[in-house]
Structure 1
Amino acid sequence: MHTCIALPHDAPVGTVVLALAAVLARYVGSSRVPLTVNGRGDVPLHIDDGHTAAMLLPIVASILQHDPQAMAPETSHRRAADGGVGISTDPAFDRRATLPDGEAWVHVDFDGTTTAHVTFDPVWMPADIAHDIAEQLPIAVTWIVAHPTAPLSGLDIVQGDARARVRDRCNATAAVQTVTATAPHEQTLHGMVVAQAARTPDAIAVIAGDHATTYAALAARAGHFAAVLHNQYGVRPGDRVGLMADRSDSLIVALLGILRAGAAYVPINPRHPAELVEYMLTNAGADVLVVDADSVSAASLYRGELVFLELELQDNGMPFNSPALTDAEDALAYVIYTSGSTGRPKGSAVEHRAICNTIRWRNRFYDFSPRDVVLQIPSFAFDSSVADIFSALTCGATLVMIDEQRRLDARVVRTLCDTHGVTTAILTPGYYRRLLETLVGSPTLRVLTVAGESVSPSLVAAHHRLLPHVALVNEYGPTEASVCTTAVRLEAPAETVPIGRPIDNMQVHIVDAAGRLCGVGMPGELLIMGAGLAREYINQPERTAEHFYESPLADIPGRVYASGDRGCWRADGTIEFFGRVDRQVKVRGFRVELDEIDIALAALPGVRHAAIVTKTNADGDRYLAAFAEGNDLTAAGIRDGLARTLPHYMVPDVVRVLATIPLTLNGKIDRAELLNLEESDAQQVAAELAATPLEAKLRAMCADILQRASLGLTENFFDCGGNSLRVMELTTRVWTELRLPLNLGDVYTYPTVQQLASHLSLEPSI
């Protein structure tokens, strides 16, 4: 694309070059902009927001004069992300020669007038962004001339239509959500469920195993449990009640009962360590904890009052009346805990009006109705569970519960889908990748949602190849924004997978490090606004103030949540996700603060140095790898020690004990070096002979799943990087390739190839 840009009268060439470099720096998200003058080698111009034009213009002038001292000692290969600028001060210079195939830069030449002739490489610069740059260059030139001594952080080039586009049109999400005057309680989650029960009392609400519960029965049982909490345990509106139980129909009753009592529920995974459970409940101010029989041991340190679910759900004939339904939309609905950078998780406190906005949007967007059957897969301590549970129960759909221990068995999932006619589910991409082939040919599936972590283009392509009749939706949203902030239907495979557009009554504004609004194509941090924002981090005012504050943009007033996620607006109005600005990552759908694991590692006895890093395997899945140096350390001991204080998803997939952990010159742990280290000690396992053909097949299969060249017959599957999803893949492959019935629990009981082969050799072939 070639365009002629009118510039302010008498604008010096150096000023124009600096202005264009400053503009391009916003698009590449880097302070380094390579310049190539009249076809000569690259010169890196470093543009920091703290620099002034007066500081940089002499450097630009030196570059234009081809001062050897201004040249870099060596040139580097230009990549598409570098955003180089080709400069020609000679009108006769052939600019086509400066745009060879594969190079990613913009060429500018000057003909002695007040115009710049700019050629954009279309491979790197889409036409609409090139058009924006053509409008932004004069703005930058004018500002630099007027403010030569001001920091470049004050240069705001996103003006006029480009600003209105991302500020207004990309965020035109206002949706009127009316609640009838006769049913004001439908402003709450439980009120919406009670209203649905009145509309479809005889429809099946929940299926768990062989037991089906109608909407009328669900509402009645929840009302009874609310009465028990109110009358026998003193639960009142505004209280927080812990809930720790495995998934079942009773779990749903308890959840609704807590809400019906006017309290907020605090979901706790029963597999969390007792110390972590005690911290969460204390921090949330939960004086009452509801537990089922299998979860009592995890509450061993809790000093509040326990409510035994199975006992209190029995109808003992006591004449308790259900508490009156409330319409307090500003009351808390739940407090869900996520990983924290200080070593302690933080609880996002979400009000009814916030999460109800998400649920109403989901029911409209997906066209959910009583014909739908929802397979409930996310853990109820994970915020996606709020979306699938309440989307189902507020539209008359049927919610199918899957036993926690069998959730990772692909055969069980497929059987449930076929038996109950499942139409939809929410899945993490890593889980879906291992489930996809098992779902091929499912006659009832109509839409699947992937959420919780980035979606790879290969997964989208595989979905459209294997399940072309099933819609695929990508949802993005932090817990602090009521589960979902943006969404998009993934219609076809593409090189990158967007996270979509803002949902009803939510807005996303992308800002750079200086707090300036980013236009289309400019990377920055996602600031989230709108009806779905959480109230606070419960009892953590400093961390609340750090992430929730008034908008820094004068023309966009309101409260924002600084997500810490990076992305940019695409030309089609969707957002592309780039990762994190801090040390927070998503692993198998769970949000993990690496600092929290580092703190736990450092606290282990005998550890002198330790660090956690994230790596990505060949399938694009992210996993955790820990490295430690110290006295009498073993990989198994480190894993066991971390499991006593961290939730299971934060225990590293791979642990390696080093004689000496690498350090940088300033004495800090060299994480870059750790990323290059092998994750297991060198062992001569390749020469180890398998005793039976089954051992040989299992070893090859396990090595392939763990992405290792070889695997010792006595090496522990989990010490070598095995995790729940890899167990799921192993059991599926043993069944499909060897026709042997391997259960998930067998892998945990027999974690070596030798043990597993011995166990399977006793099983009859099918």
Structure 2
Amino acid sequence: MNLWEKYQACLKVNASKTAFCIGNRSYSYAEFSQCISASQQLLFKHIGPSAGLPVGVVCHDSIETFAAIFAIWFSGSHFVPLHPLHPAFINEEKVRQSGLQLIFDPQTNNSATNLKVKCIDNKDLTSSATPVICKETDRAYILFTSGSTGKPKGVPINVKNMSAYVDGFLNLYPDLTSQDRFLQTYDLTSDAAFTAYLIPLLIGASVYTIPPGGFKYLSIVKILQEQQITFTKFTPSVLNYLRPYFRSMKFDSLLHSHFGGEALPIDLVTQWAKCIPNAEISNGYGPTETTITCTIHRTAIDQLKENVYNGIVSIGKPFKGVNILIVGENDQILSDGEKGELCIGGSQVMDSYLHASPNDNSPFFISELNGITERYYRSGDLAFQDKDGYLYFCGRKDDQLKISGYRIEPAEIELAVSQLAQGSKSRAYGFLNKSGTESIVVFIEQYDQHPDNLKERLRALLLPALVPEKIIPIGQFPLNPNGKVDKSVLFELYASQIYE
């Protein structure tokens, strides 16, 4: 039985149970299954069964969005998520790169692109079950990460990768049951969102979503309190927004508080632990290229401080089926305790980037571990492994940033700044703010206009996660003895402004 057949079996077995709670409406597994089948038949009408083609989904907070995703999977095709509020040109670039000809969008009057792509509406459709058609080698989805050229890079993930992820996750969480209630807090264009619906819908549990608009963080608190949520997944940045209210919070029903997407500060999560007396803490790690999450540190609250480095909680140990190497400059395998590049092998690793040439092996290399030769993905992250096998994240090998779960190339931000500031030289960095979380700071040379105006104009060119928190004009960039921009001087300038 393949992954999608397992999901379809779960839909049948749990027909009367709640699958989703979206807004003020609950949907049973039976209702969700009917919506999937109707969406699948609509898809067959336009592209035929088992076409293996990419299909776009404009991701609204609706049952139709989730049904469209599963209908695409059940039909042997793969989905490309599009955000309805992202600038049209960003969605259009994804459409072009992935070759989309068809997009599911229940709100077709608010098209996410200006391109002539056929949009279909699966709202309020129901139908009886339709057979699953797929193979493990079929693609499941294409996500896009920030690219150094200013264009996003496509990351295709196949069914085999997803199956390995689901198996690895459930192997670490055998105590999850159909009684659990998962809170989905991420945009559906992020792979971090997959956990909160892939896992519960395979065990007969329920998914609760956050309504769009308004104050997201207050909505999270409200749903946690009212719906007796048992499993959450946040970035540390989301938790940091809740920090001022910790003293008034207590969530007795929460059993699993999971983090990912950013380094997890021990002081932040220690304070949070007082709000969740019955929960355990887990901290996950995984580049998009290695399918959602590939390592997790799962621990009881009273053991939190046992695996911490430089104030940051360990990213744990690899999933079953995931192999980890820490390598040096010449790809030599390093010993426990030595810092190097974190490299990932195993069945969760993507085959290649979208449209990569057959000879482009730049993100991969071949190495041997315990007598097994395998292909490894270079994460670009620095880490070390202790004698007990726990991994510790130590920052980026290059200047790439990771903010709110998104991996970001500074060059993409700098390009947008240059376009709006008549070619002024700029540099984008990730610096820790007063709250202890990383934020994007842009320094711009010889710019005499108000930086807040530039920041607002950048919102039209960049994804929300790429818009800098602060823009600092300077006369000229300070250089170190090697003739390179002196980042330490810029950090001192930034620190003097935020702590003045």
Normalization by structure 2: what TM-score?
0.91
Identify the match of residue 220 of structure 1 among 34, 39, 56. Answer: 34
Structure 1 residue 228 displacement after superposition: 0.4
CA shift, 1:670, in A, is 3.9
| Helix, strand or coil at the partner of 1:216 | helix
Which structure features the higher share of helix residues? 1
Q: Which amino acid aligns with 2:355?
A: N
Per-residue Cα deviation, 1:140-163 (whole angstroms, up to 9, x for no partner): xxxxxxxxxxxxxxxxxxxxxxxx
Task: Spell out, residue by residue over 1:577-632, the C-alpha distance to the aligned partner (whole angstroms, 9 max, x if none).
Answer: 11111111211222111122222223334233211122112332111111223466
Q: Which amino acid aligns with 1:313?
A: K
Q: Is the 8 A contact 1:656 1:680 kept in 2?
A: no
For 2:39 and 2:235, the matched residues in 1 are separated by 32
For residues 348 and 640 of structure 1, what CA distance do their matches in structure 2 show? 29
Question: Counterpart in 2 of 1:587?
Answer: 403
Whole-angstrom CA distance in 2 between matches of 1:461 and 1:191: 41
| Equivalent residue, structure 2, for 1:365 | 172
* Stretch moving more, 291-300 or 340-349: 291-300
What is aligned with 1:263?
77
| Match of residue 199 from structure 2 | 391
In 2, Cα distance between the equivalents of 1:556 and 1:232?
45
- For structure 1, which segment, 627-636 or 361-370, has the greater mean C-alpha deviation from structure 2 after superposition? 627-636
- Alpha-carbon distance in structure 2 between the residues aligned to 1:583 and 1:295: 40
- Are 1:305 and 2:118 an aligned pair? yes
Give the alignment partner of residue 19 of structure 2, picking from 183, 205, 211.
205
Retained in 1: the 8 A contact 2:342–2:379?
Answer: yes
The alignment status of 1:505 with 2:321, answered yes or no, reads yes
Q: CA deviation at 1:208?
A: 0.7
Q: Is 1:460 the equivalent of 2:269?
A: yes
The 1-side partners of 2:379 and 2:294 are apart by: 11
2:254 maps to: 445
Cα deviation, residue 203, structure 1: 0.7
Are the structure 2 counterparts of residues 293 and 679 from structure 1 closer, same or farther at C-alpha, using a change threshold of 3 Å? farther
**Cα–Cα, structure 1 residues 556 and 510, in superposed 2: closer, same or farther, change >3 Å?**
farther
Paired residue type of 1:493: L
3-state SS in 2 of match to 1:283? helix
Tell me which residue corresponds to 1:736: none
Query: What is the CA distance between 1:542 and its match in structure 2?
Result: 7.6
Question: Residues 448, 553 of structure 1: CA spacing in aligned structure 2 closer, same or farther, 3 A cutoff?
Answer: closer
Aligned to 1:627: 443
Contiguous gaps of at least 5 residues in structure 2: none
Tell me, yes or no, if the aligned pair for 2:343 and 2:376 is still in contact at 8 Å.
Answer: yes
Q: CA deviation at 1:576?
A: 1.3
- Which residue is 1:337 aligned to? 144
Partners of 1:245 and 1:295 within 8 A in 2:
no
Ranked by relative contact order (alpha carbons within 8 Å, sequence separation 6 or more), the top structure is: 2
- Give me the whole-angstrom Cα distance separating, in 2, the residues matched to 1:348 and 1:678: 34
Go from structure 1 to structure 2 and tell me whether the alpha carbon gap of 1:321 and 1:550 turns closer, same or farther (over 3 Å shift).
farther
Q: Percent identity?
A: 24
Q: Which residue of 2 aligns with 1:290?
A: 104
Deviations 1:9-51 (A, max 9, x none): xxxxxxxxxxxxxxxxxxxxxxxxxxxxxxxxxxxxxxxxxxx
Determine the structure 2 residue equivalent to 1:247.
61
Alpha-carbon deviations, 1:293-325, whole Å to 9, x = none? 28825312x232222x3xx3234x9xx876531
Mapped pair 1:493 → 2:304: yes
Aligned residue for 1:528, secondary structure, equals strand
Summarize the alignment of residues 126-205 of structure 1 with structure 2, pairs less than 5 Å apart.
Answer: 184=1, 187-188=2-3, 190-205=4-19
Indicate conservation of the 8 Å contact 1:527/1:563, yes or no.
yes
What's the counterpart of residue 124 of structure 2?
314
Q: Indicate if the aligned counterparts of 1:378 and 1:384 stay in contact, CA closer than 8 A.
A: yes
| Aligned residue identity for 2:123 | L
Q: Say how many residue pairs are matched.
A: 490
Task: Report the CA distance between 1:365 and its aligned residue.
Answer: 2.1
- Write the mapping of 1:343-742 to structure 2, written as runs, cut at 5 A: 343-366=150-173, 367-406=175-214, 408-410=216-218, 412-435=219-242, 437=246, 440-491=249-300, 492-494=303-305, 495-496=308-309, 497-541=313-357, 545-551=361-367, 555-630=371-446, 633-663=449-479, 669-678=485-494, 709=500
Hey, what's the Cα distance between the residues in 2 that align with 1:652 and 1:555? 46
Largest Rg, 1 or 2: 1
Q: Per the alignment, in what secondary structure is the counterpart of residue 420 of structure 2?
A: coil
CA distance in 2: counterparts of 1:521 and 1:417, whole angstroms: 39
Instruction: Describe the superposition over 1:471-503 as per-residue Cα deviations: whole angstroms up to 9, x where unpaired.
Output: 111111111111111111133232432111111
- Matching residue's letter, 2:212: E
Instruction: Kindly indicate whether the alpha-carbon contact (under 8 Å) linking 2:105 and 2:119 is maintained by their aligned counterparts in 1.
Output: yes
Q: Is the 8 A contact 2:315 2:390 kept in 1?
A: yes
Could you tell me whether the CA contact under 8 Å between 2:401 and 2:408 is conserved in 1? Answer: yes
Q: Given the superposition, is the C-alpha separation of residues 406 and 572 from structure 1 closer, same or farther in structure 2, using an over 3 Å criterion?
A: farther
